Every structure is written in C-alpha cells, then in structure tokens.
Structure 1
Amino acid sequence: MIAPMTDDLYADVLDEDLIRPDGRPVAWTRTGSGTPLLRLPGTPGSRWSIRADRSAWTDRGLQVITTERPGYGRSSRLPGRRFREHSDDLAAILDHLGLDRVYLTGGSGGGPHVLAFAAHHPDRVVAATITVGLPPLEDHEYDAMIPLNAAAFRAARAGDEAGVREVLTPSYEAMQAGPLAGLEAAMKTAPASDLEVMSDPRWRLAQTKAIEAAFAHGMDGWVDETLAMGGDWADIDLTAIKTSLTWWHGVADRNCPFPAARRLVDKLPTATLRELGDLGHFEPYRREPEILDELLSRGA
C-alpha cells in the first residue's frame, strides 16, 4: 500500500507497507530516487524518523528507505523477537521494491540491526555505516549511561520484562503528553552537544513526528527492543559480517558508551572506528553530509 502525505513538509515522502507470511504488516517510508539507501532508525524510532531538511539526501541523488521494527508505528509487534526476524523483514522490503543491493546505515538502537542484516543478508549490502550504535555492554559500563538507559538495560540483561516496562513507563507516559518531554527528561544529564542539537527547531519537528508515529499503538515495541538489545545477541554472528563498515562514535556519548563500541569494532575485521571527538549521541545529525559521503565512497 502507498499513501502519499498531504502535509507539505512531507509531500515528497511515500508511506508504504507489506504483509509478511505470518500476517504482520511491516511499514517504511521512501523518498527520492536514484541510489538506494536503507536507513534503520534509533530507539524508540519509526518509519518517520527522517530529517525535516532532506537536502543532504537529494543533493546526493539518494532514494532513502527508512524502516520501522516490530511493535513501532504500523509494524505489528513480535513478542520475543531478537534481531534475525527484522533482518528478514528488511530483505523482504528490498524484494518488494525490486532492489538487489543497497547502502545501509543505522544509528543508536539501529546499530545491532545493521549488524544483523549484514550478517544474515551480506549479498544485499554494498557498504554499511553505524552511527553511535549500541554495542553489547559489560556490567561496569551501565554507570556511564544516562539513568534511563542504565536502569532499562540492567533489567533487560536480567531478562526482566516487567522491570524493563516499569523503567520505561514514566518516559513513555511523558512522551504521550508531549512527544519531546520524556526525551528531554531522560537526556538532561547528556553532554552539552546533545542538548544543543535538541534545541534545533528542525530536529524537534522531525523528532516529534517520529515519536508520535513510534508509539501509535503503545510501548510494547520499545519494551521488546530493549529486551533484545540487552540480551545475548546470539542470533548475530559477527564472523559472518564481510561488509565494509564504518562506525562513527562520540567519546562523550552517554547513551551508548564509547569503550563498548570500540571493543565491538575491534572484533569486526572489515570495520573502521571513526571518533566524533569529545561529543555526544546526536552529533551525527550535524555531520550527516560527511558521513554519507564517506559511506558512498566505499561503493566504488
């Protein structure tokens, strides 16, 4: 199904979906034409986790497909899911669109899903980029995170679904009252660079739409995703990843600790770590042209 948006800001964006064999709808947005770029948003995110200013995409002649994972937006929940399930959803989306191979990028909670897709469907990826991705964490690294993430991932590591839900509920309820309220409360101890990005009116406009869409049917998708990311990652075989991968990360990131990212990249022979300096989680928003150019350069 394709439904063009009537809102002028999103008039160039197509809202699409397909039905998987198990009956689940899986949705995404698509904008532009030309070189295909598959984007996996952060957590909590949705198919509307797209920039209000998309000139960095149009200037490079990109067809940008932004997906959403089970439980967010129009994409039905899949309780107990890990990473393999969504990687297969992504392959089905590419089949539906008639795309054999794509450039691949994902940020924050989209990071492990980039790894999963690259591991399970390596022939579909030209080159990949992860920005400020979430890596597996060691116990002492939770203390380096913002309090919301630390508490949620400790509960997830213990397999405590009720505990994860209890931690996330106040933020979810705040975001129901005002889409950015819960995020601002959670990020109040974040680096100054993150707070500066969060004050950008264009960022706020896009983030509001993304959050409203993500929670259209409740918070179950957020709970499921946190459990998956805090789990054992057993369905991501890092040795199967042969794709050229660049991982961008800020040293001061308090959502996804930098030392854990460096440790994970060291396990990936085709990956390169690029530091974003002593900056935080949202710095890639300001560096997108540079990040895209580096990604596209690896497709030659």
Structure 2
Amino acid sequence: MVRVGDRMVLYSIYGDEDGLPALSFGGTPSTRWKRPDAVAAIESSGLRVATPDRPGYGGSTRQPGRTVASVVEDAVAVADALGWGRFAVTGGSGGGPHALACAALLPERVTRCAVIGSNAPPIVDGPEPTEEEELADPRRNRTSWLAVHGDLRPGLEETTRAIMAAVEAGGPEIPPQPGAEPGPPAREDAAAMARLDATFVTSHDGWLDDHLAFAAPWGFELGDIKVPVSLWHGSADERAGKYVDILAAAMPHAERKYYVGGHIPPANAYRELLRWLTLS
C-alpha cells in the first residue's frame, strides 16, 4: 500500500524479485488479484509485476472526478515505493487506456506499453446511439453515452446480478475461450469467489468512475506517445479489433498483435505479451 495525498493505493506484486519491472492495470471492472493462470505466466516471464487497484477498487480510496490521466500519479507512487526508475506498462480492456496514459505522460520512465482488448476515446455527443451505430463504431456506445447523459449505476447492478446468478448456478469464474469447455464451477473455489466478490459485489464505485473517465477527455493525446506500443486483440473479439483500428490510426508506430481467442487472452497469448514487454 502507498499513500497519494490523502488516498490509499493498494497493489499486489507477482513474479521474480529480480525481474524487469512492470505495472499492470486491470480491466473494467477488476482488482489487483490475478487468477492462477496469469500468476503462472508472470512467474515464468522474467518480469516483476505490480498490479495497482485504481481508486474505488479493492480498497483503494475512491477519487471522484478522476480522469484516465489521473492514474499516472498512482503509477509514479507505486513505482517510487518499489524503487523502480524505469518500468514497462500493460493493461487489459479498461486497463488499456490507463497504460497508454503512463506511456504518454511518463516517456522518461516507461520502456514499453502493451495493451490488450483496449477501448478508445468514445463519441458521446448527439442522441443516444442505436445498436446498429454501436456495432458499426464501438466509440458510439450506450455505456459511454449514459456516463455523460444518464445514470450508469442501475445497469452495473443489473450486470452484477446476472454474472453472480450464473456463478451461483455453477458457472466458471470467467467465460470460456471460443470453442473451449467451461472451467470448473467458481462457487467451489474460495479464491475465485473472493475475486468475483471483490470485482462485482463489494463496490461499484471504481467501475462507475472508470466509465465516467473514459467518457470525459482522457488528459493526453494518443499521438503524443513515443515509446514502443503493441495493440493486442483476439480473433473472436470483433469489437476490440475495431478499437485497434482506431488506436493504430492514432499511433502509426504501434505494433498490431493478433491471437486466436476472445476478449480475455488465453495463456499462450498472455505469455507472448509479457515476453514482448521484456524486449530491449
């Protein structure tokens, strides 16, 4: 735990004590606790990975009005507490914009930036987007529009009820990869249930504030990023592929990385992403 002003930022550490430093930003929603398959990949990667909880998640103090760029202050605090001068950054899904913020605003400290299934700045002007508009361009999505023009919290609560009902009915912790069998019932694994509870049940504040931040100006320009960037997405994740098109157009130097799978990367893809972060 580190203090940033009057806030507490909680984080976990994984991997080799002497490994190359990296900060990993979780999705929206998620917490600092990695699943066993991710921990195993990190432990074999040669990296030392810190996973901070953004404000409102996992016990980190809420920060109303935070922007995507606000994460940089927390990233610096964690890195300084660990004695890291230089470090890589990565982020999955809603963690992607936060990793990109560090790459843009900390060019003297960030070595590489890998994002997977990341979203791009949304378009929130005009009337509520239709389903057809969202399918054509994911920047025109109802979630971001509601963050500006409505109230997201009832929808987050409804999503939570659906997810936890499926878990109680015997569902796995995460959806299976396309074509794969579901994992074991999460309700039979105390650690899995703890992760699910922390992510979906304990508080929706971090989840809500992430979406509010995505829908507001991010606080940096994607085109200002100069450090090496890789943009990853799965073959079955059409929405993320469209976001990659947008991000790549804004960052012509970024590498596009494609893997077979869905929004949550399979172990082999995650290992490859971690390996990319170690390249000089």
Q: TM class, shorter-chain normalised?
A: 0.7 to 0.9
Q: Which amino acid aligns with 2:158?
A: P
1:233 is matched with which residue?
Answer: 217
Deviation track 1:151-207 (CA, whole Å, cap 9, x = no partner) reads 423312xx0352x112111122445x569469x79x98xxx735738x234999675
Q: Which amino acid aligns with 1:119?
A: A
Contact 1:48–1:209, Cα closer than 8 Å, also in 2: no
Which sections of structure 2, spanning at least 5 residues, go unmatched?
Answer: 124-128
Deviation track 1:209-263 (CA, whole Å, cap 9, x = no partner) reads 433223564211111111212x143412223211101111124315x44223212
Normalised TM-score (structure 2): 0.82
Q: Does 1:296 align with 2:265?
A: no
Aligned residues, how many? Answer: 266
Q: Distance in 2 between matches of 1:63 and 1:98?
A: 12
Contact 2:26–2:94, Cα closer than 8 Å, also in 1: yes
Normalised TM-score (structure 1): 0.77
Q: Post-superposition shift, 1:101?
A: 0.9
Q: Post-superposition shift, 1:142?
A: 2.2
Structural mapping, 1:59-208, within 5 Å: 59-137=44-122, 142-143=134-135, 150-156=141-147, 159-162=148-151, 164-174=152-162, 177=164, 180=167, 193-194=177-178, 196=180, 199-201=182-184, 208=193
Q: Does 1:280 align with 2:239?
A: no
Deviation track 1:7-45 (CA, whole Å, cap 9, x = no partner) reads xxxxxxxxxx11211x11101001231221211111101
Q: Distance in 2 between matches of 1:168 and 1:61?
A: 37
1:211 is matched with which residue?
Answer: 196
Secondary structure of the structure 1 residue equivalent to 2:250: coil
1:5 is matched with which residue?
Answer: none
Q: Percent identity?
A: 31
Q: Distance in 1 between matches of 2:35 and 2:52?
A: 10
1:258 is matched with which residue?
Answer: 241
Deviation track 1:111-152 (CA, whole Å, cap 9, x = no partner) reads 100111111112121111111111234556523699xx9542
Using a 3 Å threshold, how does the CA distance of structure 1 residues 53 and 107 change in structure 2: closer, same or farther? Answer: closer
Contact 1:50–1:66, Cα closer than 8 Å, also in 2: no
Q: Distance in 2 between matches of 1:129 and 1:261?
A: 12
Q: Distance in 2 between matches of 1:195 and 1:99?
A: 41
Structural mapping, 1:48-63, within 5 Å: 48-52=33-37, 54-63=39-48
Secondary structure of the structure 1 residue equivalent to 2:10: strand
